[in-house]
A = this chain, B = another copy of it.
C-alpha cells in the first residue's frame, strides 16, 4: 500500500493520518479537503500533500467527511478510483453509506467503518495519533489488510452488519444525545430551575451543547432506529415513573448501576 488518501482532514481524518504514520505506514498520505483545511493539515505535518480534487492514485481511500458528503463522494468517485483500491469511511451511521457504496463503487472494494472515538474539540488542529487507542472500531465486513492497520493504530475491532450497527448506535449513542437535548429543552422552558441545578444536571446536559450540524446527517440517515430507541426508552422511563412509590425502584437502580459500571 503506497498511497493513503484522506478525504476530509478534520479531527478523525487527521487523527487517522497521524495514527497510521505512528503505526508504521511508510507511504504517501494525501489530504483531500478544502484549501484552508489542507493548509492547516500541511502546517501540522498531518499530511504530505493536499489536493482539493479527487485522487486517483490512492490504494486506500479514507472518507472522513460528514455523512452526506461521504454519500455524495461514493456516488461520484468510482470512475476516478485505482482499480482494486480499498475504500473505507468513518461515518457515524452505516446503512445509507454502505447502500451508496454497494450501488456506486464497482472498481474498488468498500468496507464501512466507524471509529467510536472523538473529542469535544473538532478540526485537524486537535488531531491526535492516539485518538483510536483502546476504542471500539466497527467494520461492516472483513478485510484483512484494513483489519491489520486498525489493530496497529490500537483500536478494538468490532464486526457488525450495517443494520446491527445502526440499531446499536441508536441506543448507545444517538439516544443519549436526544435525551440530553430533551432535558436541555425542558430546562429552557423552566428558567427558575437553573437556580437549583447541581452537577447532575450539568452532566446530563453536556451533550445538549453538541452542534446540530453534526447531528443533522446522523438523524437524517438513522431516523427509524432513533425513533425505535426513543420508544424503548419512554417505555422504560414510564416503568420507573410507575415504580417510584414501590420497592421495584430499587431493582431498576441496581440493574442500571451495574450496566453503567460495565460501560466503563
A51–chain B nearest beta-carbon distance, Å: 31
Contacts of A135 in B (CB 8 A): 198
A13–chain B nearest beta-carbon distance, Å: 18
Taken together, the copies of this chain in the complex come to 2
Q: Taking the complex as formed, is A219 at the interface, i.e. its CB lies under 8 A from any CB of chain B?
A: yes
Whether the pair B201, A172 counts as a contact (CB closer than 8 A) is yes
Contacts of A164 in B (CB 8 A): 192
Whether the pair A240, B182 counts as a contact (CB closer than 8 A) is yes
Contacts of A100 in B (CB 8 A): none
Which residues of A are interface residues toward B (Cβ below 8 A)? 114, 116-118, 135-136, 138, 158, 160, 164-165, 168-169, 171-173, 175-190, 192-210, 212, 215-216, 219-220, 223, 226-227, 229-234, 236-241, 244-245, 249-250, 252-264
Contacts of A202 in B (CB 8 A): 263-264
Whether the pair B183, A176 counts as a contact (CB closer than 8 A) is yes
Residue of B nearest to A250 (CB): B212
Residue of B nearest to A207 (CB): B200
The secondary-structure label for the interface of chain A is: helix
Whether the pair B175, A183 counts as a contact (CB closer than 8 A) is yes
Whether the pair B203, A203 counts as a contact (CB closer than 8 A) is yes
Whether the pair B194, A263 counts as a contact (CB closer than 8 A) is yes
Whether the pair B261, A244 counts as a contact (CB closer than 8 A) is no
Contacts of A254 in B (CB 8 A): 212
Whether the pair B185, A116 counts as a contact (CB closer than 8 A) is no
A234 to B205: give the CA distance in the assembly, Å. Answer: 16
Whether the pair B188, A263 counts as a contact (CB closer than 8 A) is no
Which one, B204, B219, B257, contacts A209 given CB within 8 A? B257
Contacts of A237 in B (CB 8 A): 178-179, 182, 230, 233-234
Residue of B nearest to A252 (CB): B185
Whether the pair A168, B196 counts as a contact (CB closer than 8 A) is yes
Whether the pair B200, A203 counts as a contact (CB closer than 8 A) is no
Whether the pair A244, B256 counts as a contact (CB closer than 8 A) is no
Contacts of A210 in B (CB 8 A): 253, 257
With A168-B195, A187-B172, A193-B168 in contact, is A179–B179 under 8 Å at CB? yes
A142–chain B nearest beta-carbon distance, Å: 17
With A175-B183, A184-B255, A198-B117 in contact, is A244–B223 under 8 Å at CB? yes
Whether the pair A204, B207 counts as a contact (CB closer than 8 A) is yes
A10–chain B nearest beta-carbon distance, Å: 17
Whether the pair A212, B255 counts as a contact (CB closer than 8 A) is no
Given contact pairs A158-B196, A176-B200, A180-B204, a sample of 9 additional A-B residue pairs in the complex whose CB atoms are under 8 Å apart: A172-B187, A172-B196, A182-B252, A185-B252, A186-B232, A205-B259, A208-B257, A209-B257, A212-B253
